[in-house]
Amino acid sequence: MTRRGRFAPTPSGLLHIGNAFTALAAWLQMRQAGGEFVLRIEDIDKARSRAAYAEQLQDDLLWLGLDWDEGPRIGGRFAPYEQSRRERLYEEALDRLQQAGRLYPCYCSRSELASIGSAPHGLASEGAAYPGFCRSLSAEERQARAAKKTPALRFIMPADAPLFRDTLTGQQSCAGEASPGDFVVKRADGMFSYQLAVTVDDAAMGITDVLRGADLLDSTPRQLALYEAIDRTPPDFAHVPLLVDASSRRLSKRDHSLTLAALRGAAVPPEQLLGRLAHLAGWIDRPEPVTARELVQAFGPVRPASDRLVISDQLRQALTAG
């Protein structure tokens, strides 16, 4: 079977070198395996997404030497490759989950949810586990609440969160970790959640290998539970470290000097950036310029293993000097 990987960026800002690192790793994994690489634009959050960013990120990826076999601009057998054009599929999946009794309406307000507390570790993407308040509402309580508020829909997370072994690090997610709790699959304002859309799309597009940033580690058990509920075989999952600055803050789309657009503007050669990133990941011994193609054989687990890679001030200077 041909392996299929993907890069699935949200076009809510310019790609920075952290996004580039994830894209590079996912691309290298597939090129090394002789697999197919898909680009999918995750623009389901219409308020945050911009068509101009989607265009720019494609130019940036091509500048780096990362091409795709299916995706925007070139199409493919699972088109469309923009989530904003795939909502019918998400609605169908929700109907199935609803019929299977895997969802319930949740009327909790933002402030009620905020009082549950914040995520235990700084890189988590989803916040604290929802304790299931609305799961046990009686029919009358539900009716009373429904008269006042449109609900979100939550997926009932199984008591034992599914386990997985990371294909890149070989690490097994730990049994006995706190359950991530029931999570939203459709918001009260009608927006489908990332968890639902990404699972439906990866399944529909025949993705066999998901490789993404360690910030999404806590999403993986949720998505595995969704695969089980929609009766699809899950892909293998791998996570690469997040790039953080010298004070351990993750790089953000607001840090313009490390966006690919800024580096291109400063005439930094893509090979220089690739060489630095590959060296940081331990794929090559010296931080010398290299093309994406030249890295295909070198790709492997990031060494030493960690969930973050630090962009020191010195490295930042080396990166941004064209």
Minimum separation from the CB atom of position 40 to ligand GLU (A): 8
**Interface with ligand GLU, residue 58, by CB under 6 A:** no
Helix (H) or strand (E) segment spanning residue 111 = helix 110-114
**Interface with ligand GLU, residue 217, by CB under 6 A:** no
Report which of 166, 211, 262 is spatially closest to residue 23, judged by C-alpha positions: 211
Interacting residues with ligand GLU between 87 and 116 (CB under 6 A): none
Q: Provide the Cα torsion 32, 63, 242, 297; round to 10°.
A: 20
CA angle 286, 287, 288 (to 5 degrees): 95
Binding mask 147-186 for ligand GLU (x = CB under 6 A): ----------------------------------------
CB 24 within 8 A of CB 274: yes
Q: Which stretch binds ligand GLU (CB under 6 A): 5-13, 161-169, 224-232, 299-307?
A: 5-13
Minimum separation from the CB atom of position 198 to ligand GLU (A): 5
DSSP at 248:
S
Report which of 27, 65, 67, 55 is spatially closest to residue 273, judged by C-alpha positions: 65
Give the separation between CA 18 and CA 250, rounded to whole angstroms: 9
Among 46, 148, 186, 253, the one annotated catalytic: 253
**Residues pairing with 165 in the sheet:** 172
Give the separation between CA 134 and CA 155, rounded to whole angstroms: 12
Question: In the annotation, is 46 catalytic?
Answer: no
Q: Which is nearer to ligand GLU, 4 or 212 (CB)?
A: 212
Q: 30, 216, 226, 244: which one contacts ligand GLU (CB under 6 A)?
A: 216
**Interface with ligand GLU, residue 10, by CB under 6 A:** yes
Q: Which stretch binds ligand GLU (CB under 6 A): 7-15, 88-96, 224-232, 262-270?
A: 7-15
CB 168 within 8 A of CB 239: yes
**Interface with ligand GLU, residue 199, by CB under 6 A:** no
**Interface with ligand GLU, residue 214, by CB under 6 A:** no
- Footprint of ligand GLU (CB under 6 A): 8-10, 42, 198, 212, 216
